Every structure is written in C-alpha cells, then in structure tokens.
Amino acid sequence: MSVNLSVFDAFHQINGLKIGFSNAGIKQTERQDLVVFELADSATTAGIFTQNAFCAAPVQISKAHLQQTRTQYLVINTGNANAGTGAPGYQDALDICQTLADAKGVDVTSVLPFSTGVIGERLPMDKITAAIPDALKNMDANKWFEASRGIMTTDTLPKGTSTQFEYQGNTFSISGISKGAGMIKPNMATMLGFIATDAKVSKEILQSICLELGEKSFNRITIDGDTSTNDSCMLIATGVNDAPELTDKNDAFYGVLKDQLEKVFICLAQAIVRDGEGATKFVSINVNGCANNAEALDIAYTVAHSPLVKTALFASDANWGRILAAVGRSNVKDIKVDDIQIYLDEVCIVENGARAQSYTEEAGSAVMAQDELSINIHMGRGDATETVWTTDLSHDYVSINADYRS
C-alpha cells in the first residue's frame, strides 16, 4: 500500500552515466537485485551517510573511498545489508569492490559499495561476484527505471523522478531514484538515494549542496523512528554539459542548480514516506514560532513518533489530546501552553491552553479521514520553523516487520 505514489518511468538520460543490472538471487529471484553505476572521467561525487554507530561495512568503505580518489563505479545490492557482520563483512564488501575493479581495470578505491536488506547476515559472495559481470555487460544510459526497481526491498513501488531546466542557453538534466519504506528516521533513514546531473560542479561545492539538501529532505522524514545502519545518499555531477564548471557559491548558477536539485531531493524523500510500510496516511507536521530550529524539530519528531498519535491517524480518530500531550512532553523547556495553537489543516483544535472554542468533532474527523493532512503547531516563542513528513501506524506495519525475515 502507498499513499498517492505513482510509478515514475520518464527519466531523462544523464550523459556521462551508465547503469547496468543483474539478478544475483540474494533474497528473491523475480527481479534484479544488483545495480552498477558507471561514471564518466569528468564526474564528481558527494555523499551523506547514516550516523548509526553500527554503520554497515559498505558505508564504512564508501566513506573512505569517497575521500581517497575519484569515484568511477557504484555497486548496490539488495536483500542483505552486510551490517553487524564485523571484519568478515568488511572484507566481503571490499572483495565486491575488488571484483568490479578487476573487471574494469580500475583502482579498488574508485568503487563505492552499497547494501540494503537484512542485518546480521553475511553476503552470499558467490552469487554477487558471479552477477557483477552480467551487470557490466548491459550498461546503458537509459536504465534509471530498472535501477529504481533493482534497489527495492520492502518498497511496494519503485521511486524516482527526473527534470530538465534551461540556464544561459544550456539544457541541464537531473534524474534520481531512492528506496526505503521502514526503519526510517534521520540521521538518514533505511534508505538509499542516487541523484545525478550532467552539470559540471567542483567536489567541494557538490558536497556542500548534498549536505544542505539532505538536511532539508532525507533528514526530515520518519516512519518509525529507527535509524538504519546502511543509509546513504549520493549526488553525482557528471560534468559533460558544455557549461562552465560551478566552483563558487556566489555564482548565480549555484542558486539555480540547488533549487532544481532541492525539488528532486524532496520528491524522492517524500516518496519514501508515501510508501512507508503499511502507510495509509501522508502527514506533514509543521512547527513554527520556536526559539530555534532544534526545538522545532524536537516537537515535530515527538509528535511524529508518538504511537498514540500515529494510531489515531490510522483510525481517522480526531483524538486531538494525543497531539497536545506529545507537544507537552517534548524536550523543549519553559513551554507556555497558553501561547500554543494547534491545527489539523485549517481546523483549529487547541488555543489558549485548551480545546479551541470553534472546534467541532465533525470538522476534526473530516480532516483525519483524509489520506493527506497536516498537523500545524504554532508555539508563539520565536521565528524558527521546521517541517517533518511522516505516516500513520497500521496493522500492516506490524505484520510486514514481524514477517520480514521469513
């Protein structure tokens, strides 16, 4: 089940990038589960990764390789996270890089590995290494849709988006895919994201953009409050466009490119929420009037992670007291309840420390019955504003995660 999420397959080709795939049969056999990206010599690569202390072996290696040399290949497997596997798992991920590097005659540090799936199990190395040559044989610039399917785990639908824009006589393209449906919560969430543009961007500028946009998108989603071991988001600029290289944030093109990329980042992040495990509601939690952004996020996540709020959302039950209680138990100090206003969409439910005089159960229930709604919280203590996107908590979420390894 997903909430107003449709399959996207109209990807623009990103010149300077090719994609190959194969089926290694890691966990299932009905679709591809191994994807390889090949980048042009002119490409620059940036990334952000999970902050979980038990970060998976591929995350450790990708972070290290990204700093050592120019990235030429990405290799992604699903069905097994290669997390919690210690030194043997680290060597497995490194051996995958070496297999691909040997096949293409490149340095092992130019290969970045990514894995997603079950934690705590060793990779089926014989299957993966056997599948890599097949993926390399079918490399093509128009395989974005196949890649979006190849990185899925519990996702019900592939996730992707693409756009083009004009600037000073040049046409620029952006395409991106993501995966994720559960164990979703910043700092980075069980998600992978791969976004590419044909613009020419210095590595320093690209990393800055990736960090900033990741904070506004993939670090503003939550389904269950669990931070994964494998989260990674990569931003690639292939540099094959004829336009000059972007090396300065004061360049007018910086703002133009960042705005276009931000739309893609947010679209892919929201797609993960829309496809949240068992989700029937897509919920925007908007908190404003805070003293700083940290307390706005604290309030938003306290509401978003409340099982009582999430189950009320699933039941379309306008039990507004659960929202009020969640705001009150956040870590924000010296809250003045009389200053707080809370709305469901445009329906005021709380003001002056109590139920709004204009509120009716019928109006609240009508909003809660929608498959998309917003919870708007006005704290009245400053100018800081933050938004977090989340889901309800359904019977299906429990079933999906109870049966995940079976």
Point out the domain boundary residue: 247, 274, 301. 274
Point out the domain boundary residue: 228, 248, 274. 274
Range from 30-39, 158-167, 254-263, 282-291 carrying the lowest mean pLDDT:
30-39
Point out the domain boundary residue: 252, 274, 296. 274
Of the listed 116, 161, 190, 197, which one is catalytic?
A: 190
Question: Are 365 and 303 members of one domain?
Answer: yes
- DSSP state for residue 347 in the 8-state scheme: E
Cβ atoms of residues 368 and 317 within 8 Å: yes
- Dump pLDDT digits (tens) for 211-257: 999 999 998 988 766 555 667 899 999 999 999 999 999 999 999 99
3-state class (DSSP) for residue 74:
strand
Could you tell me if residue 5 is inside a domain? no
What residue numbers bound the domain in which 324 lies?
282-402
Mean pLDDT of all residues belonging to the chain: 92
How would residue 54 be classed by pLDDT, with cut points 50, 70 and 90?
confident
Q: Is the pLDDT of residue 403 over 80?
A: no
- Dump pLDDT digits (tens) for 88-125: 999 999 999 999 999 999 999 999 999 998 889 999 99
Could you tell me if residue 99 is inside a domain? yes
Question: Are 203 and 318 members of one domain?
Answer: no
How would residue 31 be classed by pLDDT, with cut points 50, 70 and 90?
confident
Give every CB contact of residue 266 below 8 A, 6+ residues apart in sequence: 216, 217
- The CATH number for 341's domain is 3.10.20.340
Counted domains in the chain: 2
Cβ count within 10 A of residue 6: 9
Cβ atoms of residues 236 and 43 within 8 Å: yes
Question: Are 341 and 256 members of one domain?
Answer: no
- The CATH number for 85's domain is 3.60.70.12
Q: Give yes or no: 116 in active site.
A: no
| pLDDT attached to residue 400 | 63
| pLDDT attached to residue 188 | 44
Question: Are 327 and 266 members of one domain?
Answer: no
Question: Are 243 and 291 members of one domain?
Answer: no
Question: Are 28 and 93 members of one domain?
Answer: yes
| pLDDT attached to residue 189 | 43
Could you tell me if residue 11 is inside a domain? no
Gap between the terminal Cα atoms of the chain? 20
- Dump pLDDT digits (tens) for 273-291: 999 877 899 999 999 999 9
